[in-house]
Amino acid sequence: MKHIARKRFGQHFLVDGGIIEGIVAGIAPQPDDHMVEIGPGLGAITHPLLQHLKHLTVVELDRDLVARLRTNPQLTVIDQDVLRVDFRSLANSGLRIVGNLPYNISTPILFHLLDAVDVVKDQHFMLQKEVIDRMVAAPGTAAYGRLSVMLQWRYDMENFCMCRQPASIHRRASTARWCVWCRRPPRL
């Protein structure tokens, strides 16, 4: 059964196998990683991750997609709003977070994840180019602001790939998606 992307969830589904392969290679999952995927959707990143992981926790709000995901015994499915998830409770340390984040709540998600920064090893996200530009902006530039300050204070960040259509199916066909890698810098 075909699933149609829902505007209210800001859904966009990855379809380009080459881009997906590059994302998974950039994440470099290891069998014993404690990994959480935000918004797994149709499983474009989920299934390749599971080829490397023993287990994966996913956070999905769409009930139709939750039902599909629950059929996989390698998944723990958290079916609630990501902004209500207590990421600290998912691992004591070394938590790896990945996701193809919806534009409409990407900034609130990034701020929410700051609450668990001390248990997070790294984060890999696909986001709108404008969001990543704000995340990695240098002081004094037009894109520099609250998001830049808060994230750069806690993480080292870098772009690790870029894709354009038809890498994803989205309600706005002109949308380009970029990947960003955030990791906690070593403690001093």
46-55 confidence digits (pLDDT tens): 999 999 999 9
Beta carbons of 90 and 57 less than 8 angstroms apart: yes
Looking at the domain assignment, is residue 122 inside a domain? yes
Q: How many percent of the chain have pLDDT more than 70?
A: 78
Q: What is the pTM of this model?
A: 0.84
- Does position 172 have pLDDT exceeding 80, yes or no? no
137 compared with 41, residue with greater pLDDT: 137
Looking at the domain assignment, is residue 2 inside a domain? no
Domain holding 93, by residue range, is 7-183
Looking at the domain assignment, is residue 25 inside a domain? yes
Q: How many percent of the chain have pLDDT more than 90?
A: 51
Measure the CA–CA gap between 103 and 129, rounded to whole angstroms.
10
Mean pLDDT of 160-175: 46
Measure the CA–CA gap between 171 and 174, rounded to whole angstroms.
9
- Does position 16 have pLDDT exceeding 60, yes or no? yes
- Looking up residue 68, the CATH number of its domain turns out to be 3.40.50.150
Total domains in the fold of the chain: 1
